Amino acid sequence: MEKQMPKVTIKNSAKNKFLHGYPLIRKEEVLDVQVTNDWVDFVDEKDRFIAKGYLGEQNKGIGWILSLKNVPIDHHFFIQKFEQAKQERSTYFYSQDTDTFRIFNGEGDGIGGMTVDYYNGYAVVSWYNATIYHHRQLIMDSFLKVYPEIIGIYEKNRFKSDLPESNHFYGRKAPEPLIVKENNVQFATYLNEGWMTGIFLDQHEVRGRLVDGLAMGKRVLNMFSYTGAFSVAAAFGGASSTTSVDLAKRSLEKTKEQFAVNGFTLENHKIHVMDTFDYFRYAKKKGLQFDVIVLDPPSFARNGKKVFSVAKNYGDLIADSLPILAEKGIIIASTNASNVPLAKFQKMIEKSFQSGQVKCHLLESHHLPADFKTNSHYEESDYLKVLIYQKVSK
Ligand code: SAH
């Protein structure tokens, strides 16, 4: 018989949204927060079963609903979740030109607090709270039942603890770099360097647009370029030149490497280790013009005394882009800031167009791709917003 699970009482005022599928528990919604690593039964104030789940503190919320059915949270449960997620990604697994994507997206696939990414035969699992981490052996055993072909696994420990940010967990170690491909563009990735690997997989659709048309014959400026992933995609898509700008010193070597693994020389591809706003001033002074400008900053960044946040300053990025945007130029405006809803993001951008007296129309908008499956009852989890505008010629 299954052992008795600890019970956690959900307030009546919050109960209904969970019954309708909302997965994230917040502190103010439960009556008695007891610290436990066990799976718990969430019950209502009359002690009636609501859901199975767990408590685990992370940057958002204090726990997750795992099942509205009163089923054991065991091997079988996890195997089913991984199998379903695998099936839903079969087109990705069959793809000839992409071998890196997300294979399990937390609450979108039914288990909040963890994600798994696939990198050409290897898996990278991220744990977002200590409770789910505590159960990792059970979870990864189940994972390997569904993915026996996985060569090696790395873990990213993304919660407060003394654990390293990254460690090798299972199987063979990946080569460094591990070359992966997306839309036939190769990327040098490092699976064991802190939380990041060198590529943000949630942007593969947008990079795909640069590969298959948007960048052809264009001069592309990539701000906040990190390892230059957008620049390399643009080069692959026939850009006449690319310019990558990032403040971090490491971005220079990393970006050079991405061009090198794709066989590009750097003749038409410039890389500047520089503050974005300094680059805008420089480019304006030099009279440079670009046909495509990519603006994908971190939600929040500090450079010395200067603080940048998407919520406050995204409009400045747009305003500074306008003087160097060529006729019919394209702006790819992107943010992963979950505190900035799409409507607000769009308003900030369009206000800057107005103040700059530049007419632009919205060509396309993108959000998370299908492999980053989201829970339809939990809209905030679709954090990615990408709006592509084109300047209307006078
Ligand atoms: N657009 C990238 C990811 C950006 S990650 C991609 O798709 O791969 C955020 C990057 O912004 C980091 O590499 C960081 O070094 C850089 N950054 C932060 N503040 C900056 C600033 N003021 N100027 C230029 N780059 C900055």
Task: Tell me the best of 197, 222, 224, 313 to mutate to test the pocket of ligand 1, counting ligand atoms within 8 Å of each CB and taking the most.
Answer: 224
225 Cα to the center of ligand 1, angstroms:
6
Q: What is the pLDDT of residue 379?
A: 86
Q: What is the pLDDT of residue 362?
A: 98
273 Cα to the center of ligand 1, angstroms:
10
Distances (CA, A) of 264 to 232, 244, 287, 291: 9, 14, 26, 20
SS3 301: strand
97 Cα to the center of ligand 1, angstroms:
27
Q: What is the pLDDT of residue 60?
A: 84
Q: Is the CB of 246 under 6 A from ligand 1?
A: yes
Q: Is the CB of 226 under 6 A from ligand 1?
A: yes
Q: What is the pLDDT of residue 394?
A: 67
**Residue ranges in 27-129 assigned as alpha helix (H):** 75-88, 90-94
Q: What is the pLDDT of residue 88?
A: 98
- Going by C-alpha positions, the residue among 82, 14, 4, 79 that lies closest to residue 40 is 4
Q: What is the pLDDT of residue 46?
A: 96
297 Cα to the center of ligand 1, angstroms:
5
How far is the C-alpha of 210 from the C-alpha of 334, rounded, in Å? 14
- Residues 317 and 278 sit within 8 Å (Cβ to Cβ): no
- Residues 220 and 231 sit within 8 Å (Cβ to Cβ): yes
- Sequence length of the chain is 394
Q: Is the CB of 303 under 6 A from ligand 1?
A: yes
Residues of the chain with pLDDT under 50: 1
Q: What is the pLDDT of residue 238?
A: 98
Q: What is the pLDDT of residue 304?
A: 85
First to last CA, the chain: 75
Q: What is the pLDDT of residue 3?
A: 64
Report DSSP letters for 344-381, one per residue: HHHHHHHHHHHHTT--EEEEEEE---TTS---TT-GGG
331 Cα to the center of ligand 1, angstroms:
17
3-state helix/strand/coil string of 258-274:
HHHHCCCCCCCEEEEEC
249: its two tokens: 């010193």
Q: Is the CB of 229 under 6 A from ligand 1?
A: yes
Q: What is the pLDDT of residue 59?
A: 85
Q: What is the pLDDT of residue 2?
A: 55
